[in-house]
Structures are given as C-alpha cells and as structure tokens.
Amino acid sequence: MSRVVAEDYSRSRDSSTMTFHTQSTPIDSNSHHLQPPLSATATSPTLGQLLKNVSDVHRENTGDGSETPVHQVLELESTDLEVPRSIRFVLSFNNLTYSVKVSRKFKLPSILPSRNTHLLGAATDSDPIRGESLFTTTKTLLNDISGEARDGEIMAVLGASGSGKSTLIDALANRIAKGSLKGIKTLNGEVLESRMLKVISAYVMQEDLLFPMLTVEETLTFAAEFRLPRSLSKSKKRLRVQSLIEQLGLKNAAKTVIGDEGRRGVSGGERRRVSIGIDIIHDPIILFLDEPTSGLDSTSAFMVVKVLQMIAQSGSIVIMSVHQPSYRILGLLDRLIFLSRGQTVYSGSPTNLPVYFSDFGHPMPDNENRTEFALDFIRELEGSPGGTKSLVEFNRSWKNLKHSRNGEGEPDRGGLSLKEAISAAISKGKLVSGATNKDAVSPNSMVPTFANPVWKEMTVLSKRSFMNSRRMPELFGIRLGAVMVTGFILATVFWNLDNSPKGVQERLGFFAFAMSTTFYTCADALPVFLQERYIFMRETAYNAYRRSSYVLSHGLVVLPSLIFLSSAFAATTFWAVGLDGGLSGFLFYFLIVLASFWAGSSFVTFLSGVVPQVMLGYTIVVAILAYFLLFSGFFINRNRIPPFWIWFHYLSLVKYPYEAVLQNEFQDPTKCFVRGVQIFDQSPLGEVPAPLKLKLLESMSTTLGMDITSSTCLTTGADILQQQGITDLSKWNCLWVTVAWGFLFRILFYVSLLLGSKNKRR
C-alpha cells in the first residue's frame, strides 16, 4: 500500500475505486523504513498529478470553490489497481573527464636542481609537459567516470574529502562550463542539452540559502509562485505548498521563520528540508543534491534521506553526494558510486558491496558498516605506494564480468523516446510548470523555459522584497536617521544664508556637500545584493525567473524609499538654508535630490554585482565617490582641470546634480549678489573702514568711466554661473543626465549578472 498526500486523484482509464481518508502521512522519525513502494507494475502518482482534479473537489467540499478544503490522504491499493506501464527515465553518463589548471608549487630543488639530477635526466616539478607550463600544472578532478541513474531510485556518490563527489554532481547538473567537461550525458539515450536540463531538473546546494525573515510556508509559497505557471489557480498552488509541507514533515514549523545567526528559527534539519522543498516545488524529473546531510545529526539526516526516497518513488531520478552515510541511510540508497581522486572504485548496489570486496580479496566483516569499511579501505589504499589503481582496474573487470553473467543490456524505458517520456510524464503530473507541445520537433521545445511572464515574476519578486524590508525596518530606519541627521546639521550650519558674496560662497559649499551626501548615504545598498547573491544564483540557475525581472523589480522596490528619503532631506534643508525659487524651486530641488539618490543607488547596486565582498565594496565606493566630488567642479573649475583629466569631470556623478542645483539657485537674472562696496568683501580691502571703501569705489568709477554707487549691482546669478563654468547644460538637462546615469548603471548591473552569476565551474 502506498499513501500519497492529495486532495483527489483519479484515472479516466481506470475502473478501480479509490478511497479518501482524513489522516495525514507525516514523516515518522522513529521508524527506520518507509512503507514499501509499489511494484514494478504499479507507479506511485506524482505530486503534480494530484493537482489535476482539485477544482472538482473544491466545488464538492465548499460549494463555491472559494476555500481550500481540508488536507486529505489518498490510499492506493496496489493489489486492486491496474496502473499503466511506468514511464522510465534513465540518465546515463559515459567517460566524464574534467581537468583544471592549478599554480605549480616550486621547491628549492626544482629551482636549483642538483648536478646528479641533471646527470640522471630525471624530470623535476619545474619541467613543463604537454598541456602545462612552467608556472601551471593540470589536475584531473574527474577521470573517465561512467554510470547511470534511474527514476524511482537514489544514487549516492561517496568518497573522502577531495575525491570528486561535488565535482561529479556539478558535472551531471551542467554546472561546469561548456568545453571544460569531456564525455557524454544522455537521458533515455538522447543527448541532454543544457536548456532541457534546466527545465526538467533541480539542484539543491550544500548551503541552505534562504531568506531568514520569511516563514517556511512563505518561502515555499514564493517558490510556487516562481516555478508554477500563472494558469494554475491560487488554490491549487496553495494545495501544492501544503502537500509539500506534509511530505517534508514541516507541518509544525510552517509558521516559523527560517532564522539565521541573530534570529532563532527552524532547526538545521528543517532548514535543509525547506531547501529541498524549494527545488522540488514543480516536481522535477531529476533532482541533484550536494551533500544534503552535511552538518545534520543522525536523526535529521535520516529524515532528509527518507524525504528523498519519497521523491524518487514519485517518479524522479535522485542523485546526491554524501560523505559517510549511517547504516539506516544506507538502507534507503539504491545505487552507490565510490570515488577516489576522481576515479571510480565501485559502482553498483549497496547489497553487492560485501561480494565486491570479497572478490577483491578483502572480505567485509559481518557486523561492520559497509560504507565505513569501504571508505576506510579506500583511504588505506590511497596512502599506499600503488594507490587505488588496482581497485579501479578491478572495478572495471568486475563490472564487465557481472554484466556478462546477468546479460544486462539497455534498461527498460517502456519503449518511449525522450520526447514521448517527457510528454507522458507531464500529462501524468510531473513538471507542474510544463505545458506539453505535441507538435514539438524536439524535447527542448516541449516545455517552456520559464513558467511565468516577466510582469508576473516582477510582481512576485517585488512582493518578497517588500515583505523582507517590512520585517527588517531597522535597515531603512538607520538610513533615514542618517539622512535626517545630515540634513539637520546642514540646516543649522548654513541657516538662512544671505545674498552677500560670503553667502554665495557658503551656498556653493552647501550644495557640494549636500549632493555628495546623497551618494554616500546610498552605500547601504551594497550589502543587499551581496547577501542575496547566492540565493539569486540558485534561483536563476534553473530558470525560476529571468535576470531581467530581478533587475527591474530591484529598481522598482527601491523607489518608494528613495522618494521618502528625498522628501525628508529636501524639506529639512531647502527653507532652513534660505534657498531661492519658492515652490517651483523646491520641487526641482526635490527632483534633483531624488535623481541623485537614484543614480547613487544604481551605482552602488552595480558595484555589488561586481565585487565579491562587502568591505572591498565599501572601499571602492568611498574612493570612487571621493573622485567624483573632486572633479565635480566645486574644488577646481572646469576650465582649470588639466586636459588629461577632463574626461573624469564628465564622468563624475556629482557634477550634474551640483550644476543643476546651482542653476536652480542662481537662475533669477534680477537677483543681485554683489552691490557697490561688497566688491571688496572677498579681498584684503574688505577690512578697511566703510568711508574708505566708498572713496575707492568713486576712484574706480572715475577710472572706468562708469557710475558705480553703493547700490549698483555688480554680480548677478548669471555671472556666478559663468564664473563656475556652468554653461554647457540647462538644469533640466542636468536632471535627465543624472536619471540616465541611474538607468545606465542598472543596465550594467544586468550585464554583470549575465556574465558573473552563471554559477558554473571554469
């Protein structure tokens, strides 16, 4: 008997009846084995298949289908149920070889070889061979690895640290750059292309990359929104999430936040099961896992592997690496591959291990853990002079002998090609995000690359970002506090500036500091993507959403906070400093501050996509913004900048908002800033008595032939702009250029994601 969590399940071709029960099937950590799977003639229905007739049950239970009915369990009697021949998927890999170049370690004898060495003609570490150089050497991580994995089974890759377990998983999951890996991977005899593999498979990383402020249910719900198609109703998506929570044994932790080092959340085993749930939400055909039991206690590790067995029995191929499985976990595994320094030393069923080592001449004690004995023996061979070469050769001959005795040939795939098998699997409920295209020429065109359109992905991404931000208000609060404190200090230091020559100079200083401050306060955006980087890479590696959707939603999410910060800063400083322009002047001042925040945020976001560490990013941000301020035109006039540095002036992000606010302040042609004797205020003559200043002014009038009195206007706003070299662009053009800088850095951020987040080995 096989229990499957479901709401309803029926087959149109089957006359057998199925009985519903209201009991559930949580994972029992005390039991050592799952209930036995169905026989070869009966196939467990996939989790996606159980969603087919949800709408009918909704109407039966609620009348209007407005609510999700109570979670139920389906009993399938394998003795009374006629199930069509199972769909067989076989992933085969042959002669996988992967090598990398590493720096050569020099030793004193290799640098200064002895005379005897030269006489003997022995090769030293410094002698380059074919494919190598004096400074690099080639290291083979995988050497001619072959095998196969079938649906309904768990294949485990075992070996000591550095044996190549994770490398083999990455090779099978297409996480090694094209051209670096040699060999062939096929699914049902057809070459498995990268695009198809992304759609029909999932990869669970060794690290649990989750948002700490989301609950278990919310995390799986967002995964469902990404991976399940828009055509699937919300009620069916909720049912999928609830079914998965039941299957993963997370019902009691569904409302608990994931947590991190600073926030208490779910346990390590629960966190690992959530990571698995995210990647199987769409019921993939192939599931790869890199050491899913790492860092877990014995009970948690066993529960995780039990979940993987249930996934395999639903019709998936499960391939995982594991360091040293316990006796209970070993009983759940179907196929084993032992690796030693990138070579296969055993490949086959766990039950054949005693016979294998007995034939090799090292019988396995009856009361010893099989995998522990095998790993210990392999380590002993690795430390011997001959290494594991003899065991590698024995494995090849033993496999050939076993195949010839058993007459094994091609595995039974139910007589279906890859296209037919995938089509049948989708029709039975696998690949919930897939939509069968019967007219497709190749399997690649049968299922969509992405489950949802761009606008749907942007909506879900924005919702998740807002939810995370709302649960961490201290981040925005700190930034708002920094802006308000800076605005308050500027407002009190430059309080109500007059229109004297000193007031003009003080205005220039205020504008330079205010505009540069808007950029510096954007540095807090740096760690945001750096913290999300690996979550983003995990989600986009298997087409959960488009990179373009992430960039667009990222830009939209920051806008509300930037508008609020700009309003607070502009309102705090504009009237307090005594800036000119009235209401229209304030509105433009607000817009240019907002544009500065936008450009600064985009610039820092772009850097976060390029730099790998937060501290390195902060160093680069501070240095570059200092250069922007230096070449903005405040410290040195544009006409005085050396020709070989003038290009940096036009690249300065501070230049354009600085020039815009100056034009906004000094644009009134009737406003005067220097009258009569005020012309002496910026010179040593400013200290002489007023009567003497008037006499000097009369002498100047006589000499110049002009009537200059104490009320004559000598410098207007246009003159100040001319003196500062601000003649190229209008204030509105400066505003648009600042906004354009922001969009340019968003585009560069997108390019950095395309080039730098492929999550593949070189």
Per residue in 300-323, pLDDT (tens digit) is: 889 889 989 988 988 889 999 998
- Measured distance CA(283)–CA(715) in Å, rounded: 75
Write down the H helix ranges in 47-150: 54-62, 108-111, 115-120
**DSSP output for 621-650:** HHHHHHHHHHTSSSSS-GGGS-GGGHHHHH
- The total of other beta-carbon atoms located within 10 Å of residue 203's CB is 24
> In which band, very low, low, confident or very high, does the pLDDT at 26 lie, cut at 50, 70 and 90?
very low
On whether residue 109 sits in a domain, the answer given is yes
pLDDT of residue 727: 80
CA proximity to 24, closest of 75, 77, 76, 73: 73
The DSSP symbol for 79 reads T
Burial code (b: 16+ CB inside 10 Å, e: under 16) for 507-527 equals: bbebbbbbbbbbbbbbbbbbb
What is the pLDDT, as a whole number, of residue 742? 95
Spatial separation of the C-alpha atoms in residues 734 and 659, rounded to whole Å: 7
Which helix (H) or strand (E) is 347 found in, with range?
A: strand 343-348
**pLDDT per residue over 134-157, tens digit each?**
667 888 889 989 999 998 899 999
Structure token digits, residue 190: 């057809």
Sign of the alpha-carbon dihedral angle for 472, 478, 481, 482: negative
Q: Is the predicted pLDDT of residue 129 greater than 60, yes or no?
A: no
In a domain, 456, yes or no: no
pLDDT at position 599: 95
Question: Do 21 and 164 sit in the same domain of this protein?
Answer: no
**What CATH number does the domain containing 377 carry?**
3.40.50.300
Beta bridge mates, 201:
286
Which token pair is 165?
């377990």
pLDDT value, residue 460: 94
Is 280 in the same domain as 329? yes
Which of the residue ranges 211-215, 233-237, 714-718, 738-742 would you say has the lowest mean pLDDT?
714-718
Which region holds residue 225: left if phi is over 0, alpha if psi is between -120 and 50, else beta?
Answer: alpha
- The pLDDT value recorded for residue 434 is 52
Residue 298: other Cβ atoms inside 10 A:
12
Say yes or no: 298 and 210 in one domain. Answer: yes
Residue 124: pLDDT above 60?
no
- Distance, CA of 203 to CA of 542 (rounded, Å): 8
**494/368: higher pLDDT:** 494
Asked, for residue 46, whether it belongs to a domain, the answer is yes
- Taking only the tens place, the pLDDT of each residue in 558-567 is 999 999 999 9
Whole-number pLDDT of residue 442 = 60
Residues 541 and 683 in one domain: no
Shared-domain flag, residues 305 and 221:
yes
Three-state DSSP class for 22? Answer: coil
Contact assessment for residue 661 and residue 511, using Cβ atoms and an 8 Å cutoff? yes
DSSP string, 170-211: HHHTT-B-TTTEEEEEEETTEE--HHHHHHHEEEE-SS----
Q: How many CA atoms lie within 13 A of 602 on its CB side?
A: 25
Q: For residue 72, what pLDDT is reported?
A: 35
Which of the residue ranges 114-128, 226-240, 243-257 would you say has the lowest mean pLDDT? 114-128
Chain-wide mean pLDDT for the chain?
79
Fill in the DSSP letter of residue 724. T
**Per-residue pLDDT, 58:** 37
Question: What are the counts of helices (DSSP H) followed by strands (DSSP E) for the chain?
Answer: 26, 15
Query: Mapping DSSP to helix (H, G, I), strand (E, B) and coil, where does residue 354 land?
Result: helix
Q: pLDDT over 70 for what percent of the chain?
A: 78
Mean pLDDT, range 635-648, rounded to an integer: 89
* pLDDT band for position 79 (cuts 50, 70, 90): very low
Average pLDDT over residues 51-57: 38
Token pair 């404190």 is found at 485
Range of the domain at 244: 90-406
Q: What pLDDT shows up at residue 624?
A: 92
Q: Strand 90-103 relative to strand 136-150: parallel, antiparallel, unpaired?
A: antiparallel
> Is the per-residue pLDDT at 341 higher than 60?
yes
Radius of gyration, CA atoms only, the chain: 35
* pLDDT grade for 100, boundaries at 50, 70 and 90: confident
Q: Are 371 and 412 in contact (CB under 8 A)?
A: no
d(CA 143, CA 183): 10
Residue 551 belongs to some domain of the structure: yes
Selection from 55-69, 542-556, 746-760 with the highest mean pLDDT: 542-556
Q: Are residues 360 and 259 in the same domain?
A: yes
| Closest by Cα among 370, 323, 300, 52 to 165 | 323
Phi, psi at 539, each rounded to 5°: -75, -35
Residues 623, 709 within the same domain: no
Q: Which of 397, 362, 302 is nearest to 33 (CA)?
A: 302
Shared domain for 113 and 206, answered yes or no, is yes
Please check whether residues 583 and 434 belong to one and the same domain.
no
Axis crossing angle, helix 216-227 with helix 454-470, rounded to the nearest 10 = 160
Read off the pLDDT band of 701 (50, 70, 90): confident
Is 445 contained in some domain? no
Transcribe 218-254 into DSSP letters. Answer: HHHHHHHHHHS-TTS-HHHHHHHHHHHHHHTT-GGGT
DSSP string over 534-601? HHHHHHHHTTSS-HHHHHHHHHHHHHHHHHHHHHHHHHHHHHHHT-SSHHHHHHHHHHHHHHHHHHHH
Residue 157's contacts (CB-CB under 8 Å, 6 or more residues apart) are: 165, 168, 169, 319, 320, 321, 322, 337, 339
Band of residue 324 on the pLDDT scale cut at 50, 70, 90:
confident
C-alpha separations of 22 from 19, 31, 45, 369 in Å: 10, 21, 19, 40
- With contact defined as beta carbons under 8 Å apart, do 116 and 124 qualify? no
* Residue 703 reports pLDDT greater than 60: yes
* 725 within domain boundaries: yes
pTM of the model: 0.77
* pLDDT bucket at 571, cuts 50 / 70 / 90: very high
Please report whether residue 449 resides in a domain.
no
Lowest mean pLDDT among 99-108, 389-398, 448-457: 99-108
Of 290, 313, 314, 293, nearest to 302 by C-alpha is 293
Helix (H) or strand (E) holding 75: strand 72-76
Q: Are residues 121 and 246 in the same domain?
A: yes
Confidence of residue 466 (pLDDT cuts 50, 70, 90): very high
Question: How much is the pLDDT for 154?
Answer: 94
Q: Which of 42-46, 51-55, 188-192, 434-438 has the highest mean pLDDT?
A: 188-192
- Which of 226, 238, 754, 223 shows the shortest CA–CA distance to 457? 226
pLDDT above 80 for 625: yes
Task: Work out the burial of residue 379: count CB atoms within 10 Å of its CB; fewer than 13 is exposed, 13-18 middle, 19 or more buried.
Answer: middle
Same domain, 433 and 512: no
**By the 8 A CB rule, do 176 and 759 touch?**
no
The answer to whether position 560 is within a domain reads: yes
Token pair, residue 615, equals 């501290």
Do 291 and 431 lie in one domain? The reply is no
pLDDT at 659: 93
Count CB atoms within 10 A of the CB of residue 652: 20
Give the range with max mean pLDDT: 358-372, 507-521, 718-732.
507-521
- Which of 28-32, 197-201, 344-348 holds the top average pLDDT? 344-348
Neighbours of 645 (CB within 10 A): 11
295: left (phi over 0), alpha (psi -120 to 50) or beta: left
pLDDT band at residue 531 using 50, 70 and 90 as cut-offs: confident
Q: Model confidence at 404, in pLDDT bands (50, 70, 90)?
A: low
Q: How many CB atoms lie within 10 A of CB 454?
A: 14
Residue 87: band (very low, low, confident or very high) from pLDDT cuts 50, 70, 90: low
H or E element that contains 311: helix 298-313
Domain end, chosen from 406, 429, 461, is at: 406
User: Which tens digit of pLDDT belongs to each residue from 274-293?
Assistant: 998 998 888 888 999 998 88
CA 291 – CA 321 distance, rounded (Å): 5
Count of structural domains within the chain: 4
- Tell me if residue 149 falls in helix, strand or coil: strand
Among 173-182, 262-271, 460-469, 710-719, the range scoring the smallest mean pLDDT is 710-719
The mean pLDDT of 247-266, rounded to a whole number, is 87
pLDDT of 81 > 50? The answer is: no
Q: Flag whether pLDDT at 56 surpasses 50.
A: no
Most confident residue range from 31-35, 130-134, 167-171, 673-677? 167-171
The residues pairing with 672 across neighbouring beta strands, listed in sequence order, are: 716
**Domain final position from 383, 406, 429:** 406
